[in-house]
Chains A and B, each alone.
Chain A
Amino acid sequence: MVFLAEWWDLRDLGNAVGAFLEWLGDRGPDWLPYTASAIIGSIALLVFLLVSLLMVAWVERRLLGRIQARLGPNRVGPWGVFQSIADAIKMLTKEAITSANADRWVFWLAPILVAVPALMVFAVLPFNEGMVLADLNVGVLFLVAIGSVTVIPVFMAGWSSNNKFSMLGAMREVAMLISYEIPQVLALLGVVIFTNTMRLNGIVGWQDEHNTWLVFLQPLAILIYFIAGAVEINRTPTDLAEAESEIVAGYHTEYSGIKFGMFWVGEYFAGFAIAAIVATLYLGGWTLWGLEEWVPGWIIFLVKLYAVFWFFIWMRGTLPRLRIDQLMGFAWKFLLPLALINIFFAGLEVLLWQENDLAAEVVLPVFAIANLALAVGLIVAWAQLLGRGRPEWRPTRARLVKELGAVVYGQEG
């Protein structure tokens, strides 16, 4: 572990914690600093996430109100700032019903596990140079692995409810997650190709060293990652797993009270996690071109995190919900080929750069312009390609499904 300065240098709270752990290590047994750092880090992360939750939930509701030309919460406290606290109390005090035919153990376990993957993501994210709970050297791979297990609690909830709408929601969520995982991983691979490391602090350091953000070098990758992340956190426009106009409330139809609250909390935590990953990998993490010398890095990081989350809120207020087949087709036909082409060009660029020993100051702006042109060109060209011939399929008046030549289940052949 590297400590920047004296413990009282609160620009990096890791200094104070590190000094305390060293003091503890000198006096206590070997295992004490490890245990203490785990406990301090976990409590700090939980406090940060819960405070963010109360704040962002209120901001989101106010913002959605503004977008939809209504007032939003404005009765509890000035501008309704205590609305989140009132909601939390409401959720805690409501009855948590377990339906008679539910699988009790799994039903009870799912809301407990649902927030765990998002919490684990924050363990590897650097808030500042020393402010990281576990600086894994396979950090990016860890993020991918944690992203892949988020389906299990959702599946448990949907299955154990013994309700067809819950089951449909869970199946949708699983199908969406395993489809969008692939473009998401390929988008992350572009970052790893450029930075040559999977350690998250190393990726932030690379961006700091070259005075750039990876969003400029990998515009297509951040777009793909952002879309895939939006699908993963299950918010409108991609909240098909709980689409209330189609399947009641999806996988948490049967949950009430604090059990439902845990799903709500887990959704927000997952949103923060995706926003934090975008901020770290593509937007330079805790660095801001020298400003981190004066402003605490964790404040810069949090500002970036909330800015990315603000985009999620904006999307939720603006876009209508997609249809499940559109969403799946978009992953496989649009994002996956584009992500593959993006990786190919990222690899080619890095190879050209390394083999010819070019200066980073010259090469990176050229790459940035080339990649931006590539991203725009590819998106336009691929959309044209996929959209070719589409207007003829659109019916001009209401028709039976059979007339359109589609398969009607139960009447095949």
Chain B
Amino acid sequence: MEDVGSIVAFWVLSVITVGAALMVVAVRNLIHAVLFLILSFIGVAGLYLTLSADFVAIAQILIYAGAISVLILFAVMLTPRAARDNAETFLQVPGLVLAALVAVTMGAIALVTDWSEATSGPMSETAEAIGEALLDKYVLPFEIASVVLLAAMVGAIVLVRED
């Protein structure tokens, strides 16, 4: 993180990510909130790129910006009048207090922890290493996850079948 480029990139991406995340909470229109959420996801993907985690960055765009946000968009679309008439909620003050507590805790952890600096430098290729780990060392969790997803898919189909 010595060179100018990655420092500038870090700050720009951080401002985008955090700013968009704040807007998600602040805007009244749910569709706008989802769009800001997508921007925030893309900012996080950019942060992964500055850490030379290319596979994770692209998976972030593919899964979060491409799939999950579309799912949320569908959910919002199927909710009547989601875009307007979103009034004040009585949970505003408790929510703010909780958010402040979480922020203080995480900030304290970040400041107190004795971080060890990475010495090996940037990795060149992560996709191959991740692939090998998934299909070699962690093959059982990988397969279990796929079975769980399959069960969820079958369950969804069973739930919506009419007969």
- C-alpha gap A147/B58 in the complex (Å): 12
Contact B73 A141 (CB under 8 A): no
Contact B65 A149 (CB under 8 A): yes
Among residues 134 to 153 in chain A, which have CB atoms less than 8 Å away from a CB atom of chain B? 136-138, 141-142, 144-149, 151-152
Give the shortest distance, in Å, between B50 (CB) and chain A (any CB). Answer: 13
Contact A159 B127 (CB under 8 A): no
- C-alpha gap A159/B65 in the complex (Å): 18
Contact B58 A171 (CB under 8 A): no
- C-alpha gap A264/B61 in the complex (Å): 25
Residues of A within 8 A of B70 (CB): 151-152, 155, 174, 178
Residues of B within 8 A of A147 (CB): 66
Contact A106 B62 (CB under 8 A): no
Residues of B within 8 A of A138 (CB): 54-55, 58, 127
CB-nearest residue of chain A relative to B127? A138
Contact B58 A106 (CB under 8 A): no
CB-nearest residue of chain A relative to B124? A137
Contact A30 B3 (CB under 8 A): yes
Give the shortest distance, in Å, between A16 (CB) and chain B (any CB). Answer: 24
Residues of A within 8 A of B5 (CB): 30-31, 34
Interface centre among A34, A103, A141, A171 (most CB of B within 10 A): A141
Among residues 177 to 233 in chain A, which have CB atoms less than 8 Å away from a CB atom of chain B? 178, 198
In the assembled complex, A277 has its CB within 8 A of some CB on chain B: no
The interface on chain B, measured as residues whose beta carbon lies within 8 A of the other chain's beta carbons, has a size of 26
- C-alpha gap A300/B48 in the complex (Å): 36
In the assembled complex, B32 has its CB within 8 A of some CB on chain A: yes
Contact A149 B61 (CB under 8 A): yes
0 or 1 for each of B46-88: is its CB under 8 Å from A? (1 = yes): 0000000011001101100111011001100100000000000
- C-alpha gap A34/B5 in the complex (Å): 10
In the assembled complex, B4 has its CB within 8 A of some CB on chain A: yes
Contact B35 A156 (CB under 8 A): yes
In the assembled complex, A407 has its CB within 8 A of some CB on chain B: yes
CB-nearest residue of chain B relative to A34? B5
Q: Report if A145-B61 is in contact (Cβ < 8 Å); known contacts: A34-B5, A159-B31.
A: yes
Q: Among A106, A136, A137, which residue has its beta carbon within 8 angstroms of that of B35?
A: A106
Among residues 1 to 23 in chain B, which have CB atoms less than 8 Å away from a CB atom of chain A? 3-5
- C-alpha gap A103/B33 in the complex (Å): 14
- C-alpha gap A246/B61 in the complex (Å): 33
Contact A144 B62 (CB under 8 A): yes
The 7 A-B pairs at the shortest CB distance, nearest first, are namely A148-B66, A145-B62, A145-B61, A145-B58, A141-B58, A138-B127, A149-B66
- 19 interchain pairs (CB within 8 A)? A30-B3, A30-B5, A31-B4, A106-B35, A137-B54, A137-B127, A141-B55, A141-B62, A146-B61, A147-B66, A148-B67, A149-B61, A151-B66, A151-B70, A152-B38, A155-B70, A155-B73, A174-B73, A407-B162
* New A-B contacts (4) at CB < 8 Å, excluding given A148-B62, A148-B65, A148-B67: A137-B125, A145-B65, A147-B66, A174-B74
